[in-house]
């Protein structure tokens, strides 16, 4: 390397070393490597040399350039290290300070209702069953005495699954948890005493309806299960759920294809701010003989009741929520009210 190149490298080393902060270092870099820097000028000067000289001189200049670039990188790294050391020396961490804490999440109010419903029914000997949300047309409708083309089918606005995805088997998003009566009863022997909570779907959306919602189905089948059992079980459930004995229950005649007779269960608080008003709370009835036969059981021998209740409805009544859509908006201000830790 010619002596003037060596001098240039030494000059760069000195200027980099003298730079006290990153800005001065970058300025120093420009003086050597920048567009109008010393090395760039030398490279431009190559143009006037012969081909052989150009190659030899070019190689020397490049060598010098690499050295200067390495010096620059070293100096940058050294500066960063100095800065870090200075910060470490200056800053202290108080390890005795309490942590900032972290949101831990909480159980959704509707799921809390689901859990409580399970606890209450388990405590009086009911099993808990779970089943598919994509259901065959047969379990959702036909087995429940809801024949094809029967007007009762239009009581529920159904989401049908595209048949090309199901190999021709008619599939629906279950419109209620009632198909679980049939699924469970066909695989168990009486006495059958079960609840089946879960998600259900209907083409419906307003302040009291959501396209996805939750129900709990109840079924008790044996040789002598009557409406009196239904009344006892359901009244006990409501008293446990609302944590008060001050409520009464009445049965109002109704229609469901899978029960005969059918009834709406209404309840009324007899004390507290909501007392004195009948509230519709659940569908119910004595299981229709045709449905008992679809369970694979002899309807002359086995009899019992079923009910289907909305978990959102129970949750709204318990907490005084008046718009069901709030459950699904994910607004923390709403959800926090049910969970102090959120």
Distance CA 58, CA 69 (A): 16
Beta strands in the chain (DSSP E): 127-128, 134-136, 171-173, 192-201, 212-222, 247-256, 259-269, 279-287, 303-310
The residue (of 31 and 199) whose beta carbon lies closer to ligand DAH is 199
Identify residues 244-263 at the interface with ligand DAH (CB under 6 A).
256, 259
Please report, for residues 2, 33, 37, 59, 258, the alpha-carbon distance to residue 7 in angstroms, rounded to integers and kept in the order given: 9, 15, 15, 17, 100
Q: Which of 38, 171, 292, 306 binds ligand DAH (CB under 6 A)?
A: 306
**Residue 217 found at the interface with ligand DAH (CB under 6 A):** yes
Residues contacting 251, CB < 8 A, separation 6+: 227, 231, 263, 264, 265, 266, 284
**Residue 308 found at the interface with ligand DAH (CB under 6 A):** yes
CA angle at 184 for the pair 183 and 186, rounded to the nearest 5° = 70
> Closest distance between ligand DAH and the C-beta of residue 192, in Å?
13
The residue (of 247 and 306) whose beta carbon lies closer to ligand DAH is 306
> Closest distance between ligand DAH and the C-beta of residue 246, in Å?
26
Which of these, 228, 238, 237, lies nearest to 286 by C-alpha position?
228
> Closest distance between ligand DAH and the C-beta of residue 202, in Å?
9
**What tokens does 292 get?**
């008992």
x/- mask, ligand DAH, residues 47-76, rule CB under 6 A, reads ------------------------------
**Residue 284 found at the interface with ligand DAH (CB under 6 A):** yes
> Closest distance between ligand DAH and the C-beta of residue 214, in Å?
11
> Closest distance between ligand DAH and the C-beta of residue 111, in Å?
20
Question: Which span (108-116, 132-140, 278-286, 322-330) binds ligand DAH, by CB under 6 A?
Answer: 278-286
**Residue 283 found at the interface with ligand DAH (CB under 6 A):** yes
Whether a cis peptide bond, with omega within 30° of 0, leads into 261 is yes
Please report, for residues 33, 70, 155, 195, the alpha-carbon distance to residue 41 in angstroms, rounded to integers and kept in the order given: 9, 20, 88, 88
- Cβ(251)–Cβ(284) under 8 Å? yes
The residue (of 226 and 337) whose beta carbon lies closer to ligand DAH is 226
**Residue 178 found at the interface with ligand DAH (CB under 6 A):** yes
> Closest distance between ligand DAH and the C-beta of residue 306, in Å?
3
**Residue 176 found at the interface with ligand DAH (CB under 6 A):** yes
**Residue 233 found at the interface with ligand DAH (CB under 6 A):** no
- Cβ(36)–Cβ(42) under 8 Å? no
Neighbours of 20 (CB within 10 A): 9
> Closest distance between ligand DAH and the C-beta of residue 116, in Å?
20
Q: Rule CB under 6 A: which residues touch ligand DAH?
A: 176, 178, 217, 256, 259, 283-285, 306-308
């Amino acid at each position: 390397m010619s002596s003037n190149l060596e001098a240039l490298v030494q000059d760069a080393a000195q200027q980099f070393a003298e730079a006290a902060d990153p800005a001065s270092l970058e300025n120093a870099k420009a003086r050597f490597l920048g567009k109008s820097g010393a090395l760039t000028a030398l490279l431009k000067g190559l143009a006037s040399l012969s081909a052989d000289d150009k190659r030899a001189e070019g190689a020397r200049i490049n060598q010098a350039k690499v050295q200067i670039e390495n010096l620059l990188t070293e100096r940058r790294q050294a500066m960063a290290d100095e800065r870090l050391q200075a910060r470490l020396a200056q800053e202290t961490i108080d390890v005795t300070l309490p942590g900032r804490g972290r949101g831990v999440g909480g159980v959704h109010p509707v799921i809390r209702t689901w859990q409580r419903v399970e606890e209450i029914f388990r405590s009086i000997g009911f099993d808990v069953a779970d089943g598919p949300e994509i259901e065959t047309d047969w379990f959702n409708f036909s087995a429940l005495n809801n024949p094809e083309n029967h007007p009762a089918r239009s009581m529920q606005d159904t989401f049908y699954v595209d048949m090309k995805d199901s190999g021709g088997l008619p599939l629906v998003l279950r419109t209620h948890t009632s198909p679980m009566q049939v699924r469970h009863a066909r695989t168990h022997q009486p006495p059958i005493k079960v609840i089946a909570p879960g998600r259900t779907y209907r083409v419906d959306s307003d302040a009291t309806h959501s396209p996805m919602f939750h129900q709990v189905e109840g079924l008790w089948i044996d040789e002598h299960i009557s409406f009196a059992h239904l009344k006892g079980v359901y009244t006990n459930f409501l008293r446990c759920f609302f944590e008060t004995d001050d409520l009464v229950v009445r049965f109002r005649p109704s229609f469901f294809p899978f029960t005969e007779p059918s009834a709406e269960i209404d309840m009324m608080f007899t004390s507290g701010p909501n007392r004195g008003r009948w509230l519709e709370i659940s569908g119910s009835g004595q299981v229709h003989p045709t449905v008992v036969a679809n369970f694979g059981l002899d309807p002359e021998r086995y009899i019992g009741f079923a009910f289907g209740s909305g978990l959102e409805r129970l949750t709204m009544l318990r907490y005084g929520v008046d718009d069901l859509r709030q459950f699904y908006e994910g607004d923390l201000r709403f959800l926090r009210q049910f969970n102090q830790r959120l």
